Structure 1
Amino acid sequence: MFIHQIDADLSLKLIELGDAERIFELTNESREYLREWLPWLDTTTKVEDTRDYIQFCLKSYAENKGLYTVIVFRNEIVGVASYNSIDHRNKIAYIGYWLGQKYQGNGIMTKVAKALTSYAFDVLKLNRVEIRAAVENQKSRAIPERLGFVNEGQVRQTEWLYDHYVDHIVYGMLVKDWKKEE
């Protein structure tokens, strides 16, 4: 079981099937808020959809292709953060995350992204961590910017959000630069 303690109030825990009801509840509480930037809200309409997602996450973890965690803040699941993909050949992890609306503004996601980046470099011995965010998603973009990631450019029309495409900014961090930041 993967558990990574970030501080006294915050940790990451490997997602598991027992988390399905809480994750679905959190999704429902923040549905309209999350829908602005996440493409999967309309296809997550019941707990079983969340269970199917968790099965995918656990399979990815077992195959060493990803790491999906729940964010635990003060003993409550408040979001999800992951390496959506780990490219071992090129030593790259791709971080993704979302947080329930009422937990925004506590610095949680910045700490989580920092912890995932350090873990990728220190434990997994990767060379690069990448975070992508929609150009207009200022809250999500602020996280890699706060952590010193480099804005490496814009990818045009890279994600379909319900009825339109959005462009993404690609942020990258290299292990050699992370060590300087810390």
Structure 2
Amino acid sequence: MPYKIEVREDLTMREIEVHEYKTLHNLVTINKAYLAEFLPWANFETEPQDYIETLEEWKRSNGESSMMTLGIYYEDHLVGLCGFNTINRMNKSADIGYWLAESHTGKGIMTDCVKSLIKYGYHVLGLNRIAIIVDVENTASIKIPERLGFVREVKMKEYFYRNKGFYDGFMYRMTRLEWDALKK
């Protein structure tokens, strides 16, 4: 059964179907310069068919292994990705990764998606701790965990490699108890 999270009326997260490989390639290509500032993989030269194997692997891995990758669909159009980059089932912990097309920033899309993914992680997957690791220079990405009440736990020295250099990262965390306390 494909994974799907209804975020709000105009916004859904779900597994990207393999037949959508051209759509994903096009989205990355259009946003290449914007994404590559903090996501070096966006600079890789790819052909649409290069995404077929990736989508097949995501579909196999979702829910069966240590990750979950979902497409973000705003008004039924793919506009980004959000998911658990890693899920440690033994320790009941995970970390979230995300990116969004530049044309869809500033609409609350990513904040709402991350919030829905957190709820899914706690209530469906039974997680206890969720982390978000962001580049210290990515101010837009930093706003997401801060807006949602995450605690900045640590600054990680030279955690990210991009543009031929190393950059620090902030690790934010939210435990299930902290999340529940925020909801009261």
Interval containing the TM-score (normalised by the shorter chain): over 0.9
For 1:17, the equivalent position in structure 2 comes to 18
Encode CA deviations 1:55-74: one digit per residue, 9 max, x unaligned: 33223226331111000101
Which segments of 5 or more consecutive residues in structure 1 lack a partner in the other structure? none
Is 1:67 aligned with 2:71? no
**2:19 counterpart SS class:** helix
Deviating above 3 A after TM superposition, structure 1's stretches of 4 or more consecutive aligned residues are: none
Q: 2: distance between equivalents of 1:98 and 1:143?
A: 11
Is 1:35 aligned with 2:39? no
Encode CA deviations 1:63-98: one digit per residue, 9 max, x unaligned: 331111000101111101111110001101111000
Q: 1: distance between equivalents of 2:36 and 2:53?
A: 19
Q: 2: distance between equivalents of 1:164 and 1:53?
A: 27
2:105 partner letter: Q
Which shifted more, 147-156 or 14-23?
A: 14-23
CA RMSD of aligned residues (A): 1.2
Q: 1: distance between equivalents of 2:164 and 2:153?
A: 27
Q: 2: distance between equivalents of 1:9 and 1:44?
A: 32
Contact 1:43 1:49 in 2 (8 A): no
Is 1:118 aligned with 2:152? no
Structure 1 residue 3 displacement after superposition: 1.3
Q: 2: distance between equivalents of 1:113 and 1:65?
A: 18
Structure 1 residue 121 displacement after superposition: 0.5
Contact 1:110 1:143 in 2 (8 A): yes
Structure 1 residue 165 displacement after superposition: 1.1
Q: 1: distance between equivalents of 2:52 and 2:95?
A: 23
1:97 partner letter: Y
Contact 1:11 1:72 in 2 (8 A): yes
For 2:173, the equivalent position in structure 1 comes to 172
Identity of aligned residues (%): 32
For 1:83, the equivalent position in structure 2 comes to 84
Scaled by the length of structure 2, the TM-score of the pair is: 0.94
Contact 1:44 1:50 in 2 (8 A): no
**1:179 counterpart SS class:** helix
Structure 1 residue 45 displacement after superposition: 1.9
Encode CA deviations 1:107-127: one digit per residue, 9 max, x unaligned: 000000100111100111110
Encode CA deviations 1:28-78: one digit per residue, 9 max, x unaligned: 111000000002112252112322322332232263311110001011111
Which segments of 5 or more consecutive residues in structure 2 lack a partner in the other structure? none
**1:26 counterpart SS class:** helix
Number of residue equivalences: 182
For 1:55, the equivalent position in structure 2 comes to 56
